[in-house]
Amino acid sequence: MKRLQLLIILMGILAFSCDAPIKDTVTNPSDYNQYLTSNLENEKLVFAKSELDFWSNKFQKAPNQSTYLSKIAAANTELFALTGQIDYLNTAAKQLAKVNEMRFSTSASVLRTLAKTKITQHQFQEADKYLTLADSLGENKGATQKMIFDVAMELGEYEKAGSILKKLSEKEDFDYLIRLAKWRDYNGDTEGAIEQLKLATIKAEELDSDDLRLWIYSNIADFYGHVGSIEKSYAHYLKALEIDPNYVYALKGIAWITFSYEKNTEEAERIIAAIERKHEAPDYNLLKAEIAKYQGNTAKETELKEKFISLVSSTKYGDMYNAYLVTMLENNPEKALELAKKEVANRPTPQSYQLLSSAYYQNGNKSEALLIANNKVKGKTYEPKSLIHLAQLYKAAGNEENVTDLKNELKGSYFEVGPNMETIIKSL
């Protein structure tokens, strides 16, 4: 009798275990399959194209109307965001420069829009110049100051950014909350950043703005991923897709979860393939290369990396991908160093100096590499990939104490950096 009871109990446990979800699986294709189809109409894309045609026709008839050209630039900027086609962005930048010229640099709103385009192009010094001029005009200084904060963070001018943040008066404003989150993340307080993003989420929902909700859902999803709250991250990407079924940023986030957390490379590749049918960007080749590396497919990894390098080396992309190229040009260390120096000139952040340090090391200048690492990187950034490269440099130099400290700091970033980097961290 006791044997029979034990057998029944064991069978129950087995049945329960078969029905129980796998612990390391949070995604479900039935949640997002509807967003992968290429036949899904993109209303935003249709509208942006109609706007481009409408204002282009108006401008052709009245080429002295800067307002029309400004509308054309706005449509081209939106088309870049929706398609990833770089020509739209470059065209918008030229058109906005023309609008600014036609208005004799007297419109702060035009200068802010031009600066925003320069930020997208990673021309941060140029963006700073336009914003400084916009600020001097006095029109809507609050909006200008917020953008100056953004650029200061990109230029590594953290004291300036902190000073601006303190001066912003509307402490419950959405724009203030997301910048406070950015500031706290820079200072290593990711949990504090998430708290601010939660408040911003409430504000976006109160305002009932699809654009704000789309932005905040996808960004808080990223942050949840950073702290290991994968279920919350996934749920917020889905919330973003409910607002915009063609929002590829959220789909890419889900693809990363399937790869980095669930180790489901086949599903990650399926999602990326669907994204590429909707949106063009060189970045997808890097993600596919990372998956190929994890699969042990060296030939495919090399092919995808070479494709990426070929694409972003085009003058169309300017300096947008220099940071990636520095880490990928192992066979051309002189070029890597040249690009690293350019990146520091354009964007003198600890992350850029880390790239310069690595480039010097690639070129055999170990003393300069360590000098930059110690003075410009160590203790100045919490960005995981920068810390990994810093740890690798210290390991090569035999500085085991610093390696151990960095390795401990990186333990919580496995999901963020992915399984290939996780292997590197564990081998340090």
414 occurs within a structural domain:
yes
Within this chain, do residues 328 and 426 fall inside the same structural domain, yes or no?
yes
DSSP string across 364-412: T-HHHHHHHIIIIITTT---HHHHHHHHHHHHHTT-HHHHHHHHHHHGG
Q: Please answer whether residues 146 and 339 qualify as being in contact, where contact means their C-beta atoms are separated by less than 8 angstroms.
A: no
22 occurs within a structural domain:
no
145 occurs within a structural domain:
no
Q: In the chain, pLDDT over 90 holds for what percent of residues?
A: 91
Choose the final residue of a domain: 216, 245, 274: 245
Fill in the DSSP letter of residue 21.
P
Fill in the DSSP letter of residue 36.
T
Choose the final residue of a domain: 212, 227, 245: 245
344 occurs within a structural domain:
yes
2 occurs within a structural domain:
no
Looking at every residue in the chain, the average pLDDT score rounds to 93
Q: What is the pLDDT of residues 99-143, one digit of tens each?
A: 999 999 999 999 999 999 999 999 999 999 999 999 999 999 999
Res 231: pLDDT: 98
Kindly report each contact of residues 168-174 with a partner whose C-beta sits within 8 Å and lies 24 or more positions away, as own/partner: 168/142, 169/142, 170/142, 172/199, 172/203, 173/203, 174/200, 174/203, 174/204, 174/207, 174/212, 174/216
Q: Please answer whether residues 216 and 246 qualify as being in contact, where contact means their C-beta atoms are separated by less than 8 angstroms.
A: no
238 occurs within a structural domain:
yes
Instruction: Determine the structural domain holding residue 187 and report its residue range.
Output: 170-245
Res 24: pLDDT: 76
Q: What is the pLDDT of residues 292-348, one digit of tens each?
A: 999 999 999 999 999 999 999 999 999 999 999 999 998 999 999 999 999 999 999
197 occurs within a structural domain:
yes
Chain position carrying tokens 């990928």: 328
282-291 mean pLDDT: 98
Whether residue 8 is predicted with pLDDT greater than 50 in this model: the reply is no
383 occurs within a structural domain:
yes
Res 210: pLDDT: 95
Choose the final residue of a domain: 245, 260, 278: 245
Q: In the chain, pLDDT over 70 holds for what percent of residues?
A: 95
405-412 mean pLDDT: 93
269-275 mean pLDDT: 97
pLDDT-based confidence at residue 2 (cuts at 50, 70, 90): very low
Q: In whole angstroms, how far apart are CA 212 and each of 57, 152, 208, 218?
A: 31, 23, 8, 10
Within this chain, do residues 236 and 335 fall inside the same structural domain, yes or no?
no
Chain position carrying tokens 């194209």: 49
Q: Please answer whether residues 84 and 100 qualify as being in contact, where contact means their C-beta atoms are separated by less than 8 angstroms.
A: no
How many structural domains is the chain composed of?
2
**The pair of three-digit structure tokens given for residue 19, joined into one six-digit string:** 């029905």
Chain position carrying tokens 């029309």: 68
Q: What is the CATH number of the domain that holds 381?
A: 1.25.40.10
Within this chain, do residues 331 and 420 fall inside the same structural domain, yes or no?
yes
Q: Please answer whether residues 158 and 186 qualify as being in contact, where contact means their C-beta atoms are separated by less than 8 angstroms.
A: yes
Other CB atoms within 10 Å distance of the CB of residue 284: 20
Q: What is the pLDDT of residues 16-62, one digit of tens each?
A: 444 433 457 999 999 999 999 877 789 999 999 999 999 999 999 99
Res 15: pLDDT: 43
